[in-house]
Structures are given as structure tokens and as C-alpha cells.
Structure 1
Amino acid sequence: MNQISRRQMMASATALTILGTSSAARAGSVNDRLNVAFIGVGNQGMGLLKRFLAADLGNVAMVCDVNRGSYGYKEEDHFYGREPARDFVNDYYTRHRGKGNYNTCTATEDWREVIARDDIDAVWLVVPDHWHRPMAVTAAAAGKAIYCEKPQSLTIADGQAMVAAVREHGVVLQTGSHERSNPVSQFICEAAKAGKIGPIRRVVTTVGYNNKVGPGPGWKAEPVPDGFDYQTWLGNAPKVPYHHDRCLYRFRFNYDYSGGQITNFGAHSNDMAQWGLGRDLDGPVSIQALEAKFLPEGSLFNTATETKFRCVYEDGVELICQSGPEQVQTRFEGEDGWLQTGYRGTTASSPNLLDGLPEKPSGTDDVLTRHMRNFLDCVRTGDEPRAYVEVGHSTASLCHIGNIAIRRHAQHGDQTLDWDPKKQTFAQEDANDLLTRNRA
């Protein structure tokens, strides 16, 4: 993959220059505002939308969601959807712009309507993973810049299609692996890459345990709520009965729509691992599942509840990805010491390794806001964002082959899979069947 993507990156330089005179041309200068739309305004989408408004990053012209509005996202009292999002934007502009009532932000349930609008410069795709490829490919063909939430794709085949579309049409895509915009993560990963702890021998990454519990075998279908377009939500996933635990925040625990916590938290911790190893566009050559636990057959949630797998890179460096508390996301172990960082802080084998460690930003300049700002700056200039499309694809690919290994482990027992990171294929031919998914 890294050889192909580098050629694509060089060939796309002209296309990115063209981008600077297309959607960004309406902005006039790097200080002018872009018109954006949010597709998907649930738990993560509303969080990003509120940060976008608070930091005054541009004009929110449109919001889109198949849910008109309801409670029951990550927490039961979260009331999200297209109408709450639209009203929030218009109320915010009314209160902060001081020029009467604003009703300039519109809402739709049809994402194609968003992409068809000529005045939209960039779109935020904050939707279940199985919708990333169709939306991103369509948006790229329409010349829209794309902020795509992590993990970048549902499958490796989907990720390959997204890379090809972005490079063919010369648009900017930022993956939502926002640790790339965290100065603390930048410090640790760059220190590891620079050899501050000597040659790295091992990296340990953590993905969180499942934080929601779904119904077990024998669960019963429920009526589709009024105002929720369930068939569009399913899209090209298998046509199955509705249950509230299948949708909204909980989609991530079903393989039809996501990859569990390996692709959720792993899109951060494993991204930092490859970053610190200097392997942003690379991958391991072998992968072995060490532990895998699943709910009983017939449960609505079918992704692994606990996992541990081992990857080995061409030079012998190993990566262990395991379920656990999220205090430590990524730990680099070198011949001369160790560095680790996570949600509960950053530590090292020697205090001097942390000399110059910056503060994690907060408020209206927090990490997520910085990541969105970096994306918009690149939309204007045509530069590559911090988590550009090949980086997002490489990280997602690592997570995907981890899932493939643990799913096969459950079926076939202990097995090491040989992986070619350039061709993106397994030596074990039957494992390649899991590089894509069946579509409805």
C-alpha cells in the first residue's frame, strides 16, 4: 500500500492545487469562511457540531440525519437528530450574531441532497462505518472536502475505494483520528520515532471494554420509531428487523456496521502506535489472535467483548493490542526506556524524557476543535491534513486485520496469518474473504 499511495500522493499534487481554486475559491482567502454540512448528528456529530460553532470555524449551512429527533443515544437523556441539530445551529447564530432570528441552517434526511448543493464546500461524515465508503466516494466525485469520522472504513476494500476516489478527484479528506492534533500525543509519538528511548522493540495498545450491553439470544424485534428512516439507516447492510440496540450509538457492537472497540478505540491507540514507529503507511507482516471472547450465539451484539492480538512488523517489532481500561492508550517500549500516554496522563521510564511535554488543550481550542481547524485550513490551502486519507486507511487496515484474526480464532483456534501490507492480502487465501463484506 505504501508504494501505491506515495505515487498517488505525488500524482495528486496538481489535483490538490485545482482544489484550492474550486471549493476554496469561494472563500477568497485563508481567513474567509467555508460553508459546511454535517451528515450524522447523533452523539459524536452533535459534539463536533457544538465545537465547530463555539470556535466559529465556518458557516453550518445544513444538517442531515435519518432520525428526525429522539432520545436514547449514548445516554438515554441525549436528544439528537436532524431537527434538534438544525434548531441548535439557528438558535446559536441568533444568540451570537445579534442580527435578528437566523433560519439559514436547513435540515434533510437525504444525504445526497447535501452533496448536490453547490454552495457546500465541505461535509462532515459522522455516520455508522458501513456508510463511510458510499458517502465519501460520492462526496469526492462532487468535489467536496470530507471530514470522515474514524474508523475510516468498514472494510479494507471500502478503504481502498475511498483512497482511490479522494486521489482521483483531488479533494481533501481528514480522518477523525484526532490524537494527531493532540500536542501531547504529538510529543510522545515524535519522541518515540526520533529514537529517544532507543530502538523500539514492542508497542502495547489498549482498546476499551464494551460500554453497552445488548440483548442476548431470543431478542425480539421492535416497531420502528416514528421519524426514523430505518431502511435508509441500514443502507446496503443486511435487511434485518429493527431493535433500538442495533442503531444510534450502539451500532459499533455489530459487525454489519462496525468492528467493535478494536476499530473504535483502536483507531486512536493503534494510529499512535504506527505513528510512533514511523509506519504511517505501512503494516505488520503477520498477525495472531491470542484471546477472543464473544457473547452467546444469537446475541444482537456480535463483536468481540474482549480481545488480544499480536502483530509483527518486517523488522521484528511487535505490537500487542488488548482490551483493558482506557487509562493507557499506547505504550512504546525501547531498548533505553519506555513512553506511554493515555486518557489519564503521560508517563515515562525517566522524567527527563518528558521535558517540554505540552499541556493538553481544552475549551474552544481542544483537540477535536484543533483537528477540525487543521482540516479546514487544508481545504483552503490544498495541503495534506494530519490524518490524510492514506493514514486513515492504514490505521483502519490494522484494526480490520485484527478483527479478522480474532474472528478466525473463534472458528479455527490458534493461527498466525501472514499479511502483505503492500498488496493488502493474506497468504491464507480463505482469510481474504473477510477483506470485504456481503452487501444487501
Structure 2
Amino acid sequence: MTSRRQFLQQSLAVAAPLIVSPAVLGADSPGNRINVAFIGTGNQGMGLLKRFLARDLGNVLAVCDVNEGSFGYKEPEHFYGRIPAKKMVDDAMAKKAKGGRSIRCDAVSDFREVLDRDDIDAVVVVVPDHWHRIITVMALEAGKDVYCEKPLTFSVADGRLMIDAVRKNHRILQTGSHERSNPVSQFVCQAARAGKIGRIKRMVTKVGFNNKISPPPGWKPMPVPSKFDYRSWLGPAPDAPYHQDRCLYRFRFHYDYSGGQITNFGAHCNDMAHWGMGLDTGGPTEIECQNASFLPAGSLFNTATQTRFRCLYPNGVELVCESGSEQVQTRFEGTDGWLQTGYDGTSASDPELIAGCPQKPRGIDDPHSSHLANFIDCVKSRAEPRAPVETGHASAVLCHLANAMIRLFPETGPHRIAKWDAANEVFVNDDAANKMLDREQRDPWS
């Protein structure tokens, strides 16, 4: 499908004279700027929108969220939603209007209004996980390029549908695995991949503990806020009574919408493990849950609070992912030394291994901003982005396999080793685990 922008560019290529004004071909010229919409303007969405505007990566023509605006996202003082997002865009555009550029930004509640627009080239999808596949596939089929936050998928089955939609429609998809645009992570993973510590034998990754407190058993439903479309927020998920701690930032602690910290932090640290091992699109041959703790039955949150799982890969490398301080995200242990990196910095068995490691950039060059910029660059050039759909799928699959084993842990206990057929994306002779590779979704979204 040819977008309005592509059609105009093709028309100009045919009709333009041999001598073209630099103003037409400049990086900031109207014909070279990408028109974008942000779908989801909560905690992460507002952060990405702020970075997108600060770096002036394109024109934001629309923002979309089922919440008009409210306090209480990740922290009580956070006031987010489509109206605060529109104000952020309008304020940024007002500063640029003095230079002769004025862009209208619309605020809508239904993402389909965004996808129906011919003047929007790309969308940034920052919604709860249970909406990722639906919105992304519909956007791809509408001819939009997509930046979709991690974890890319809500289930193993979602990933194949998303890969097929990207390739069939010849679209660009960037997974929001922003560590791929962090020069520190690039340095460490490339060093491990290049054999700087010899042959990798073992990797250890960390996922944070739950950072919010669940309402206890006996919690009571709450009235739905007047400016929040809760039915649309639920969408394909099972019907459930409203509570403020079910939505906004806290959706990640409910299996009906996410996968806990395994898919939150784990989508980064385990993606880095795959990256450093040189297995961007592969998977393990076996997986076992060694420990899992849950809140008391009847609590509003139901994802595991503490976990430890182990994987074995075809090359003999072992991966252990466990709850702990995510200040150390990923550690590579090889025959000739070790490397590790995280929010606390980077270290190694020999200081020479990290000589020349860059500092983590901040401001408009921070990893989130650079990852968005890479996406926009690829929308223009049609090159593959740093975290393409197959890579995002493989990292999410590992997290989903882990959650299948974690959720079965209360019944089966430790020492249950499941065999995984990565080529066919199925557990071998394990019906209980295979039932968790897909999620039932309510009509009309099924």
C-alpha cells in the first residue's frame, strides 16, 4: 500500500526539474518529515512522546488514548492521557511556529481513527501488552510503519501473526528494545559475541521485584472514572470489575494483560543475552522453573513476585534468569573471563575487556531517543531497524516460555524440565504448557 507521503514523493520525483531548491530536499523540509501518531499516552508513551518532540523527529499529527487525562500513573503526581499529550505536542509546536511551522495535533480515543488517516505514515504503539498484536497488525495492514513497545507480543502465537503482517505489507517494525540503541549495551554484547571472553558458557540475567503493592484479598471494585473508557481498555481481555490498580502502570502485574516483571524487565535483559550470544532469532531447547512465589489467592495482582528459571540452548549455553536488583541486567560468563552490564554500570573480569566502553548517553541522545531516531531513519530509508520484528518476537517468546513454566510451578514444583521445539514453536509432548502459548481473546478482537 502506498501512503500519501510516498505518493507525493513519487510524483515529485517524476515532475521535479533537474535543479531543486535545498529547502525542498533539506532534512527538515515538509516532504522529508514523517507524520506520526502516538497510540497510548500513559507512563511510557508520554516519556517517548517527550523524547520524540525534544529531538524533533517528525510531525505528531495525533495522540490516542482511552483515558482523557488523570493522575496516578506510575506515581500519584503523574498526570497523563490524551489531553495532556496533546498539550505537550501543542506547546512544542508553538515554540516552532515562530519559524513558520505550525502542525495540528488531534486527540482521539479510538485507535481506528488514527489508522484510517492517509496523512499518517507511522504509529508509536505504547499500550498494555494485550493490545499489542491487534493494534500493530491493523496498523501494518493500513500501510503504517510501527514502533511497538516491548514485550512485542502478549503470547507466542501473536508473534507469527505480527511477523507475517510486517513481511506481507513490506512495512518497518521497530521493537521498543531500546538497549539495542544503548552504546554501552552495544559494546558489551558485541564484545561477548566476538569472543572477547572466549566461548560463552553461562549467562545470568536479572528481573526486578514487583515495584507496586497489590490490593489484598477482599478488595472491592471501584466506580469507573467518567473520563476513562474502561470497556475499550479491556478490549480483548476477560471481563473484570474496575479497580484503579488494574489499569494504568499496574496492568503489568495481571496475567490477563501482561506477564509481570518477566516480560517487563526480562524483555530487555534476556534480549541482551540473545544478542551477546549471537542468537537474535533463536530459542532454547529446554526450560525449567526453579522457583516461583505468588501473592495470596484473591489478591488483585496475580503475577509471580519472585522467580528463577533456567534455559539450555542448542550451543550448550545455560541461561539463568532470576529476581533481584536489575542494576545488573545481563552477565556473560565465558571460558576466558566475564562481562556484565546494567544500570549500575559495566564491569569485567579484566579491566582491559571494557577499555573504551562508552558512557551511557543522556538528554536527546539517550537510548530511548536514539531508538526512536533509528526507527524514523528506517522509515525513510526502508532499512531494517535495530530491533526488527523477528528479534522482538524471539525475546518475547523466551519470556512467555518462562511464564508458562512459572504459572505451572505451584502444581508441578521444581525439576519439571520442558523440551522446546524452537523451529515449530511448540513444547514437546507437554499439553499443559502448550495451552499457554496462546491467549483467548474476546470478540470482536479474536
Query: TM-score, with normalisation over the residues of structure 1?
Result: 0.93
Matching residue of 2:76:
76
The answer to whether 1:130 aligns with 2:143 is no
Query: 1:360 Cα shift?
Result: 1.2
1:22-101 residue pairs with structure 2 within 5 A? 22=6, 25=9, 31=27, 32-98=32-98
Matching residue of 1:421:
422
Distance in 1 of aligned mates of 2:35 and 2:65: 18
Matching residue of 1:189:
189
Matching residue of 1:437:
439
Q: Which amino acid aligns with 1:423?
A: N
Unaligned runs of 5+ in 1: 1-14
Residues 24 and 236 (structure 1), Cα distance of their counterparts in 2 relative to 1, 3 Å cut? farther
Unaligned runs of 5+ in 2: 13-23
Residue deviations 1:198-218 (CA, integer Å, cap 9, x gap): 000000000011000111211
1:291-310 residue pairs with structure 2 within 5 A? 291-310=291-310
Q: Secondary structure at the match of 1:434?
A: coil
Distance in 2 of aligned mates of 1:372 and 1:25: 23
Distance in 1 of aligned mates of 2:102 and 2:67: 23
Matching residue of 1:11:
none
Contact 1:24–1:34 under 8 Å retained in 2: no
Query: 1:19 Cα shift?
Result: 8.4
Q: Secondary structure at the match of 2:436?
A: helix
Query: 1:22 Cα shift?
Result: 3.5
Q: Which amino acid aligns with 2:260?
A: G
The answer to whether 1:157 aligns with 2:157 is yes
Distance in 1 of aligned mates of 2:275 and 2:287: 19
Residues 109 and 23 (structure 1), Cα distance of their counterparts in 2 relative to 1, 3 Å cut? farther
Matching residue of 2:336:
336
Residue deviations 1:66-104 (CA, integer Å, cap 9, x gap): 000000000000000001110111112112332699571
The answer to whether 1:219 aligns with 2:214 is no
Q: Secondary structure at the match of 1:292?
A: strand
The answer to whether 1:141 aligns with 2:141 is yes
Residues 108 and 350 (structure 1), Cα distance of their counterparts in 2 relative to 1, 3 Å cut? same
Distance in 1 of aligned mates of 2:329 and 2:26: 35
Q: Secondary structure at the match of 2:171?
A: coil
Q: Which amino acid aligns with 2:147?
A: Y
Q: Secondary structure at the match of 1:435?
A: coil
Residue deviations 1:397-422 (CA, integer Å, cap 9, x gap): 00110111111112221211100111
Contact 2:5–2:121 under 8 Å retained in 1: no
- How many positions carry a matched residue from both structures? 424
Matching residue of 1:6:
none
Residue deviations 1:343-365 (CA, integer Å, cap 9, x gap): 01000000100122112111111
Residues 342 and 96 (structure 1), Cα distance of their counterparts in 2 relative to 1, 3 Å cut? same
Residue deviations 1:137-185 (CA, integer Å, cap 9, x gap): 1000011000000000110111111111111111000000000000110
1:241-280 residue pairs with structure 2 within 5 A? 241-280=241-280
Contact 2:312–2:319 under 8 Å retained in 1: yes
Q: Secondary structure at the match of 1:168?
A: helix
Matching residue of 2:409:
409
Distance in 2 of aligned mates of 1:20 and 1:386: 26
Residues 242 and 101 (structure 1), Cα distance of their counterparts in 2 relative to 1, 3 Å cut? farther
Distance in 1 of aligned mates of 2:102 and 2:25: 25
Matching residue of 2:17:
none
Distance in 1 of aligned mates of 2:8 and 2:398: 33
Contact 1:348–1:354 under 8 Å retained in 2: yes
Query: 1:20 Cα shift?
Result: 12
Contact 1:39–1:126 under 8 Å retained in 2: yes
Q: Which amino acid aligns with 1:343?
A: Y
Distance in 1 of aligned mates of 2:156 and 2:47: 28
Residues 230 and 20 (structure 1), Cα distance of their counterparts in 2 relative to 1, 3 Å cut? closer
Q: Which amino acid aligns with 2:373?
A: R
Query: 1:438 Cα shift?
Result: 1.9
Residues 34 and 103 (structure 1), Cα distance of their counterparts in 2 relative to 1, 3 Å cut? closer
Residues 24 and 157 (structure 1), Cα distance of their counterparts in 2 relative to 1, 3 Å cut? farther
Distance in 2 of aligned mates of 1:315 and 1:378: 32
Q: Which amino acid aligns with 1:435?
A: L
Q: Which amino acid aligns with 2:421?
A: D
1:99-114 residue pairs with structure 2 within 5 A? 104-114=104-114
Q: Which amino acid aligns with 1:267?
A: A
Matching residue of 1:9:
none
Distance in 2 of aligned mates of 1:40 and 1:369: 17
Q: Which amino acid aligns with 2:214?
A: G
Distance in 1 of aligned mates of 2:9 and 2:43: 32
Contact 1:222–1:243 under 8 Å retained in 2: yes
Distance in 2 of aligned mates of 1:205 and 1:30: 44
Contact 1:30–1:377 under 8 Å retained in 2: no
Contact 1:183–1:358 under 8 Å retained in 2: yes
Q: Greater shift after overlay, 409-418 or 26-35?
A: 26-35
Based on CA coordinates, which of the two structures has the bigger radius of gyration?
2
Contact 1:177–1:267 under 8 Å retained in 2: yes
Residue deviations 1:228-271 (CA, integer Å, cap 9, x gap): 00000000100110000000000000000000000000111000
Matching residue of 2:323:
323
Distance in 1 of aligned mates of 2:9 and 2:38: 21
Q: Which amino acid aligns with 1:416?
A: I
User: Percent of counterpart pairs with the same letter?
Assistant: 59
Distance in 2 of aligned mates of 1:192 and 1:23: 44
Distance in 1 of aligned mates of 2:3 and 2:313: 36
Contact 2:288–2:310 under 8 Å retained in 1: yes
Contact 1:20–1:379 under 8 Å retained in 2: no
Query: 1:30 Cα shift?
Result: 8.5
